[in-house]
Amino acid sequence: MADIHGMYDEYMQMLEKIHFGEDDYLYVLGDVIDRGKDGIRLLQDMMQRSNVTLLPGNHEDMMLKVVTLPEMAGEEYERRMAHWSRNGGDVTAHSFFSCLNYKEQAKMIAYLEGCPLFLPDVRVGGRSYYLVHACPDMYGLTKGMEHSPVTLGTLSDYPENKAEEIKKELLWTRPEGTEHMPDEVTVVFGHTPTIHYQGNLPMTCWYGNNMINIDCGCAYLACGRREGRLGCLRLEDGQEYYIGRDDGESFPGFV
């Protein structure tokens, strides 16, 4: 899944729909928080599941840039908070600061800082997948880095301009959709709602040249728009599942 954006009920409905159990493994490709009201609740759920891996998105990065400041006041705090707020972060900030105690806040920060920014070789059913929130590392920015996996926390060991360049590529960049990825790997990403690549409404997963976008517009649901849905792609066989205002049916995938 990707880009759940605070929609906890849809997330739980999806887990029920796919019969998610202890023998399954779920990758969530970022932007769990913001826009919808239950981002913190979603993070709490994922933190306690040993079979869920979160790859942070740009919204988790914006959150960390605020909540890790030594002082919640001053010009730098106002600048970072304004940026987060413009991107739907107010509801998440309120929950984080008002509903979590200091120990819970510290635990959540440590969790987010430890999540991998990308997973370049997830093997399922004889195929190799590159998982990332927004865009793969097209320019080798992480090549030679000693940390594996690369996380938001380990980026602090590198110069700030280097760290921000990597985050801009992996967490913010929107692929054009015309890129040709290597034949030996399929890139799975979110961040950009699939309507930007195809006209399907309600939104469905998009397939490019060894690329699959699974952001089916749950952020639209958070804004009260019916065309958005939460999508889930099963890597074993390409089966697609959807939850939306119409509780969309499952569709055949890319088998």
Residues 135-178: pLDDT tens digits? 999 889 998 887 789 999 999 999 999 999 999 999 999 999 99
Which residue range(s) make up the domain with 191?
A: 8-244
Q: Does residue 252 lie in a domain region? A: no
Residues 43-67: pLDDT tens digits? 999 999 999 999 999 999 999 999 9
Q: Does residue 33 lie in a domain region? A: yes
234: which strand partners? 239
Q: Spell out the residues 6+ positions from residue 216 whose beta carbon is closer than 8 angstroms to its own.
A: 193, 194, 202, 203, 204, 205, 228, 229, 230, 231, 242
Q: Does residue 3 lie in a domain region? A: no
Q: Does residue 249 lie in a domain region? A: no
Counting the structural domains of the chain, the total is 1
pTM score of the predicted model: 0.94
Here the CATH number for the domain that contains residue 179 is 3.60.21.10
Q: Does residue 164 lie in a domain region? A: yes
Q: Does residue 251 lie in a domain region? A: no
- DSSP states of the chain as a string? ----TT-HHHHHHHHHHTT--TT--EEE-S--SSSSTTHHHHHHHHHT-TTEEEPP-HHHHHHHHHHT-S-S-SHHHHHHHHHHHHTT-HHHHHHHHHHS-HHHHHHHHHHHHTSBSEEEEEEETTEEEEEESS---TT-TTTT-S-SS-BTTGGGGS-HHHHHHHHIIIII----S--B--TT-EEEE-SS-GGGT---SS---EE-BSEEE----HHHHHTT-TT-EEEEEETTTTEEEEEETT-PPPB----
Residues 83-133: pLDDT tens digits? 999 999 999 999 999 999 999 999 999 999 999 999 999 999 899 999 999
Q: Sorting pLDDT into bands at 50, 70 and 90, what band is 247?
A: low
Q: What is the pLDDT of residue 245?
A: 77
Q: Does residue 18 lie in a domain region? A: yes
Q: Does residue 97 lie in a domain region? A: yes
Q: What is the pLDDT of residue 21?
A: 96
Q: Sorting pLDDT into bands at 50, 70 and 90, what band is 200?
A: confident
